[in-house]
Structure 1
Amino acid sequence: MIVVNAKFLTQTITGVQRYALEICKRLPRFIGEEEVVYVSPKAPLINSISKDIVPIHFGRLPASLWEQIELPLFLIKNGSPLLINLAGVGPVFYSNKIMALYDLAFKHHPEWFSFSFQKVYNILIPIGLKNSIKVITDSYYVKEDINRTYGVNLNKIEVIYAAPSKMFYNQNLKREKFILTVSSIDPRKNLKAVIQSFKNLDTDYKLIIVGKRNHIFSNFDLEDEINDSKINFTGYLSDEKLVELYNKASIFIYASLFEGFGMPPLEAQACGCSCIVSNTTSLPEVYQGSVEYCSPEDNESITAAMQELIENENKRVDLKKSGFENVLRFSWSTSANQLQKVIEQTTYEKSANT
């Protein structure tokens, strides 16, 4: 059998969990002669792959300890099968695995994260990279970063892009005068700069911020920044509410300081919203010429980009069209097929060497 670490089914969906969920929905039940089996800790299942896939639900330990202790024991008792780990650290000392790593922010910017999170990742991730047969990542930027930072051979790293889910589509709603941003509430998303840059505008547009704070990030609070009647912080929203906002916003902004892929602008593009995106890390690779770029460390650049799209309706129309074209470059089915080929290659090479 082939085992997928399905801990992500017990977690609230963020970008990493959505990546794992969407790809697993499209993996076949059998790859070659091996059945694909999903295993998860004994925590409530928040997400589901499909109605006919019931994960093996076992263990007593909290999820992080389950992953390092009980999951490896389960694998060893079942003949040490290939493990697919698409979310989180995974069992670092289990070597028959394919591991996903989406960015190295924890390495390059430990100050953005809680002390315990960045210490755990900085200790365990290098071990996991060394022990894995293959490493999956979500952009060529991250592939080169892993190679440069940890010396992992480029041939060991496979790039499999993310994609917008089908729920994100253009509903042809009337666009309203607001700028939207969607992200976790953490330092790398650069929300304080976005807020300050927006305050520098003389406009009747509003700014709507959608996101939820995560405990893994260092102490970060927006309360002192959101003191303007034109700024609305919604907190976490359901997918239905989020799709509606993507479809009503005139402009979407994503002035992030560091991204391995950067999913929200792609969701916005799928909904027909014109986007402003940072000109850094993986973002130019993913968005190419389909967005208005800003320099995330320059508030004047962020303000100028927002002002340009507020004033230039023709530019918004052009970006809407180029956004639809950009979205067509990405597909979860294509990404799942890529992962399947990586699994097939890995199992073939293993059998050839035994």
Structure 2
Amino acid sequence: MPRSRPTSPSSSAPDLVINGRFLTQPLTGVQRFALEITRHLAHLRPVEVLRPPLPGGTLPVDPATLTVVGRRSGQAWEQFELPAALRRRGRPLLLNLGSTGPLAYGRHISTHHDITYVRHPESFSRLFRTQYRAMIPPLLRGAQRVLTVSEFSRGELAVHFHLDPTRIEVVNNAVAPVFTEEGPLHREREPYLLGVSSPNAHKNFRRLVEAFRRATRHRIRRLLIVGSQAPAFRSASLGNDDEVVMLGRVGDDELGRLYRGAAAFAFPSLYEGFGLPPLEAQACGTPVIAARAASIPEVLGDSALYFDPLSVASIAEAIEAVDASPAVGRRLIEAGRQNVRRFSWERSAEIVSNVVDDVLAASARGTRAT
């Protein structure tokens, strides 16, 4: 249960401000985490979300908690106008739920999901890598506490940035309510295997496509891949034909239909801080085959059929196993249902609220939270 207590809207100004830059960004895993934690945290304690004026999507945050400040957008807003607005508000505690935050503001809790840009630099542009390698170390070392999404990532951050692991709190992702077994299915003329990701090098979709073409399949006829590339990433064209279809970005409602209609879901990534798509697929009642790599076994436990992501033959064997045996699919579906129950945004928001309480209490004592 949360230790923080809700306060009425008529009480004093919130002691916690959330960096709302994520509200102007495309909805990927980082932004979904920020959105859901913000929404659920607002039920536990008063919060104010400061955001840039630039319109950004239709992310559903209660307008009563939102305040537009400044005139700029992007990093210029985050590094200059956000800290200025915080100082005018008396220097409240700032919660950065995206991967970045203002370097010139010392009272903050910051989130960092993973260090993919370090482990797989080939997936990122030189500019992106340079910016993150300059910005992230001082941001995390200066944080009152650091949040991340898995025990795997906690270890990665502690080792790479030389952080005390006791200052890093694990706050898991969870599945949005739209992803459920109940609802319409995507209608495809033939049974299909589904993949969801951007086609960046570390996502490993080249090997998945090769394995799919190589696998002996009697039931599954097509591979559908959902997702688009952000400009920061290098191109990794996978081709597009009648057997392998790139669908681009889709909304959550359509993604739910695609999950529910799939014969199976494949997650071949070489590196993930958490890996939300296979959990969403499980919530929609779809069997999952996945890479035994990084955080993925931590998140999926024994609920997935694993393969070696560096071996095309191993990926093909997993595809063949789920294609050939309905019993394998049924076992994975039931195991997936059990696995999804381990995660909830409510519990994750409670963890964040408790971290905020610890930092505020330590600040009142004149010490640093640990």
- TM-score range for the pair, normalised by the shorter chain length: over 0.9
Alignment-derived partner of residue 352 in structure 1:
365
The answer to whether residue 26 in structure 2 is matched with residue 15 in structure 1 is no
Other structure's SS at 1:196 match? helix
> Cα deviation per residue 1:172-227 (whole Å; 9 max; x = unaligned)?
7679611000012211111111101101023352100111111111232223xx3x
- What CA distance in whole angstroms lies between the structure 2 residues aligned with 1:129 and 1:101? 8
Structure 1 residue 54 displacement after superposition: 4.5
Segment of structure 1 superposing worse, 275-284 or 19-28:
19-28
Alignment-derived partner of residue 27 in structure 1:
41
Alignment-derived partner of residue 158 in structure 1:
169
Residue type of the alignment partner of 1:66: W
Structure 1 residue 11 displacement after superposition: 1.5
Other structure's SS at 1:171 match? coil
Segment of structure 1 superposing worse, 134-143 or 47-56:
47-56
Other structure's SS at 2:263 match? strand
1:324 to 329, 337, 342: 337
Matches within 5 A, 1:246-285: 246-285=259-298
Q: Is the 8 A contact 2:202 2:269 kept in 1?
A: yes
Alignment-derived partner of residue 47 in structure 1:
58
- What CA distance in whole angstroms lies between the structure 1 residues aligned with 2:64 and 2:232? 30
1:135 to 134, 146, 150: 146
Percent identity for Structure 1 against Structure 2: 34
Alignment-derived partner of residue 119 in structure 2:
108
Structure 1 residue 91 displacement after superposition: 0.7
- What CA distance in whole angstroms lies between the structure 2 residues aligned with 1:172 and 1:323? 18
Alignment-derived partner of residue 211 in structure 1:
227
Q: Is the 8 A contact 1:185 1:214 kept in 2?
A: no
TM-score, structure 2 as length reference: 0.91
Structure 1 residue 89 displacement after superposition: 1.1
The answer to whether residue 69 in structure 2 is matched with residue 58 in structure 1 is yes
Structure 1 residue 29 displacement after superposition: 5.9
Q: Is the 8 A contact 2:47 2:65 kept in 1?
A: no
Structure 1 residue 232 displacement after superposition: 1.2
Residue type of the alignment partner of 1:199: R
Matches within 5 A, 1:334-353: 334-353=347-366
Residue type of the alignment partner of 1:8: F
1:144 to 127, 149, 155: 155
Other structure's SS at 1:179 match? strand
Alignment-derived partner of residue 236 in structure 2:
220
TM-score, structure 1 as length reference: 0.95
Other structure's SS at 2:182 match? coil
Cα gap change, 1:218 to 1:81, in 2 (>3 Å): same
2:199 to 172, 185, 196: 185
Residue type of the alignment partner of 1:187: A
Cα gap change, 1:19 to 1:293, in 2 (>3 Å): same
1:305 to 315, 318, 324: 318
Residue type of the alignment partner of 2:194: L
The answer to whether residue 135 in structure 2 is matched with residue 121 in structure 1 is no
Other structure's SS at 2:47 match? strand
- What CA distance in whole angstroms lies between the structure 2 residues aligned with 1:210 and 1:157? 32
- What CA distance in whole angstroms lies between the structure 2 residues aligned with 1:29 and 1:264? 26
Cα gap change, 1:112 to 1:290, in 2 (>3 Å): same
1:236 to 245, 249, 255: 249
- What CA distance in whole angstroms lies between the structure 1 residues aligned with 2:242 and 2:137? 46
Other structure's SS at 1:338 match? helix
Alignment-derived partner of residue 5 in structure 1:
19
- What CA distance in whole angstroms lies between the structure 2 residues aligned with 1:240 and 1:337? 27
- What CA distance in whole angstroms lies between the structure 2 residues aligned with 1:340 and 1:47? 25
Q: Is the 8 A contact 1:94 1:131 kept in 2?
A: no
Structure 1 residue 47 displacement after superposition: 3.2
Alignment-derived partner of residue 7 in structure 2:
none
- What CA distance in whole angstroms lies between the structure 1 residues aligned with 2:44 and 2:275? 31
Q: Is the 8 A contact 1:4 1:36 kept in 2?
A: yes
Residue type of the alignment partner of 1:208: L
- What CA distance in whole angstroms lies between the structure 2 residues aligned with 1:160 and 1:180? 27
Other structure's SS at 2:191 match? strand
Other structure's SS at 2:264 match? strand
Q: Is the 8 A contact 1:30 1:36 kept in 2?
A: no
Structure 1 residue 93 displacement after superposition: 2.9
Other structure's SS at 1:53 match? helix
- What CA distance in whole angstroms lies between the structure 1 residues aligned with 2:60 and 2:237? 35
Q: Which runs of 5+ in 2 are unaligned?
A: 1-14
- What CA distance in whole angstroms lies between the structure 1 residues aligned with 2:198 and 2:288? 18
The answer to whether residue 212 in structure 2 is matched with residue 198 in structure 1 is yes
- What CA distance in whole angstroms lies between the structure 1 residues aligned with 2:340 and 2:260? 15
